[in-house]
């Protein structure tokens, strides 16, 4: 696979596949070699000069048709100007209900669950006021999102139960629907907890790193004992009640860089959806990735991509979100101006009511938005005025509207600036995005109706975008 930056858009060549990706609207197009040549000439010399050059060749008779196609699909449009707002409604809050954890993960960014502070738990008054504030800050939005986080949030299960009951009552009285989610290590799941999560339609993310030899190395208990044998039976109880609809979030370290090994281990547990991210750690740590490791990971993703494609074509797809997310964005013609909702429309609240950009910035005063008692949204305005199109190092990148400029916290960790991405992560993301586009194209070529069938099953993995009018018509039919 060869990916070539073409004037801020992307040309992808893979054996018999030639694709053109529109950065502006996330449109993906299968093209012919004449279109590729024309587009490169236009980007280098302008339309008239490209016409003069192409007149000297036998393909001049189709050149005008291809130029019109490029115009119609927005490839020759000037970049739209982005005018960021000063404020937007806050619709999501991550509540750190427990600054405590029963595991001792060796790469933990949260200081063993306490965020380099004292062990503590959120109480009812702080939790209730956090929900009150979320509803207040959401303004006219009818849906808001509450995530229970830690540490290990299930160490404070009684508060979670209380806040869900409180949130439902408060939401009903204010005409709001509250959606709940939780991130857990799975070791404390019980039948009662599983029933509660299902009854209240929780989205559940389980932190688990793969098969036993990886899990027990990376995520032991405080006493050093491995957590796999304890976590797996509990997790399977949860998965069995949800037909596999639980996501595993794995952290990849240098000790095992085989993505297929990690994915197979998690699928053997029963997970239907898997997301993997490289560890964020000082380069001196033995498990940290070096720049060469990121290059090796490209080969790992290529291997996973083959397995992923084979499974899709056999009718047995699995949700590897690192690939699915790009395909999903193309499917929905989505553009992203920010890496996530952190500080934009989502915040994190610590056990004492402190508000932060996101849970990964908890305890860092430079990323504080005040408290639930005395909020200060000046940082939100700063974030909103840093869309990816205005950021040096990002504004000319073809992948900018797919990644939004990379995770704020990872940027800060590696470069001490939230708006300066870490290049090895950027390069890996771009490789995965281009690979995902090739996979999309191959599925469409093999079975055009497969993508629609998958979408009808509520698994929106793919769509080939042929034109802006088609996008408009499909959206109107939904």
pLDDT at 415 over 60: yes
pLDDT of residue 473: 43
Least confident of 122-126, 177-181, 208-212, 312-316: 312-316
Express each pLDDT in 344-378 by its tens digit: 999 999 999 999 999 999 999 999 999 999 999 99
pLDDT of residue 59: 62
pLDDT of residue 471: 36
Average pLDDT of span 4-11: 92
Neighbours of 473 (CB within 10 A): 10
Q: What is the Cα–Cα distance from 476 to 216, expressed in whole angstroms?
A: 50
Express each pLDDT in 8-61 by its tens digit: 899 999 988 999 999 999 999 999 999 999 999 999 999 999 888 887 776 667
Q: What is the Cα–Cα distance from 134 to 126, expressed in whole angstroms?
A: 12
> How far is CA 257 from its chain centroid?
20
**Residue 66: DSSP 8-state:** H
CA distances from 150 to 100, 115, 135, 411 (A): 7, 9, 22, 22
pLDDT of residue 455: 53
pLDDT of residue 80: 84
pLDDT of residue 60: 66
CA distances from 139 to 126, 175, 346, 385 (A): 21, 11, 13, 21
Average pLDDT of span 66-72: 92
Q: Confidence class of residue 249 from pLDDT cuts 50, 70 and 90?
A: very high
pLDDT of residue 472: 39
- Mean pLDDT (the chain, rounded): 91
pLDDT at 448 over 80: no
Q: What is the Cα–Cα distance from 358 to 350, expressed in whole angstroms?
A: 10
Residue percentage of the chain with pLDDT more than 70: 93
State both tokens at 67.
């130029």
pLDDT of residue 318: 84
pLDDT of residue 463: 29
Q: What is the Cα–Cα distance from 343 to 114, expressed in whole angstroms?
A: 22
Q: What is the Cα–Cα distance from 409 to 421, expressed in whole angstroms?
A: 10
Express each pLDDT in 158-195 by its tens digit: 999 999 999 999 999 999 999 999 999 999 999 999 99
**Angle between the 33-45 and 47-54 helix axes, to the nearest 10 degrees?**
130
Burial 232-270 (b: 16+ CB within 10 A, else e): bebbbbbbeeeeeebbbbbbbbbebbebeebbebbbebb
What is the pTM for the complete model shown?
Answer: 0.91
**Residue 172: DSSP 8-state:** H
pLDDT at 399 over 60: yes
Average pLDDT of span 251-263: 97
């Amino acid at each position: 696979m060869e990916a070539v930056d073409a004037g801020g858009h992307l040309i992808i060549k893979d054996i018999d596949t030639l694709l053109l990706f529109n950065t502006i609207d996330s449109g993906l197009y299968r093209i012919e070699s004449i279109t590729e040549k024309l587009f490169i000439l236009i980007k280098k010399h302008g339309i008239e000069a490209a016409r003069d050059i192409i007149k000297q060749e036998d393909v001049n008779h189709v050149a005008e048709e291809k130029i019109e196609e490029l115009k119609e699909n927005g490839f020759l449009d000037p970049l739209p100007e982005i005018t960021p707002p000063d404020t937007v409604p806050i619709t999501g809050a991550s509540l750190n209900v427990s600054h405590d954890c029963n595991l001792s993960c060796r790469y933990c960014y949260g200081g063993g669950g306490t965020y380099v502070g004292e062990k503590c738990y959120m109480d009812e008054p702080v939790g209730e006021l956090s929900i009150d504030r979320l509803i207040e800050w959401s303004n006219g939005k009818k849906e808001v999102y509450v995530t229970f986080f830690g540490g290990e949030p299930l160490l404070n299960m009684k508060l979670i139960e209380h806040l869900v009951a409180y949130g439902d009552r408060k939401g009903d009285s204010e005409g709001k629907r509250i959606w709940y989610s939780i991130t857990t290590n799975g070791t404390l799941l019980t039948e009662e907890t599983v029933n509660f999560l299902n009854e209240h339609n929780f989205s559940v993310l389980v932190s688990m790193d793969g098969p036993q030899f990886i899990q027990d190395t990376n995520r032991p208990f405080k006493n050093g004992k491995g957590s796999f044998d304890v976590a797996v039976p509990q997790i399977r109880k949860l998965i069995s009640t949800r037909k596999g609809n639980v996501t595993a979030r794995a952290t990849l370290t240098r000790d095992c860089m085989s993505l297929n090994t990690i994915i197979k281990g998690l699928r053997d547990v029963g997970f239907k959806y898997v997301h993997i991210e490289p560890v964020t750690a000082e380069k001196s740590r033995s498990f940290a990735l070096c720049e060469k490791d990121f290059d090796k990971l490209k080969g790992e993703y290529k291997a996973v991509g083959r397995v992923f494609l084979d499974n899709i074509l056999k009718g047995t797809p699995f949700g590897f979100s690192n690939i699915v997310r790009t395909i999903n964005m193309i499917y929905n013609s989505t553009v992203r101006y920010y890496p996530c909702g952190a500080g934009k429309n989502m915040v994190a609240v610590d056990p004492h009511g402190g508000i932060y950009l996101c849970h990964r910035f908890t305890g860092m005063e430079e990323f504080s938005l005040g408290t639930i008692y005395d909020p200060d949204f000046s940082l939100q305005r700063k974030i909103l005025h840093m869309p990816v199109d205005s950021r040096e190092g990002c504004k000319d990148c073809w992948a900018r509207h797919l990644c939004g400029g990379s995770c704020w916290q990872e940027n800060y960790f590696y470069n001490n600036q939230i708006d300066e991405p870490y290049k090895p992560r950027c390069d890996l993301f771009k490789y995965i995005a281009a690979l995902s586009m090739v996979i999309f194209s191959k599925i469409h070529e093999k079975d055009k109706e497969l993508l629609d069938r998958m979408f009808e099953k509520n698994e929106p993995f793919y769509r080939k975008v042929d034109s802006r009018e088609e996008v408009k018509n499909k959206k109107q039919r939904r």
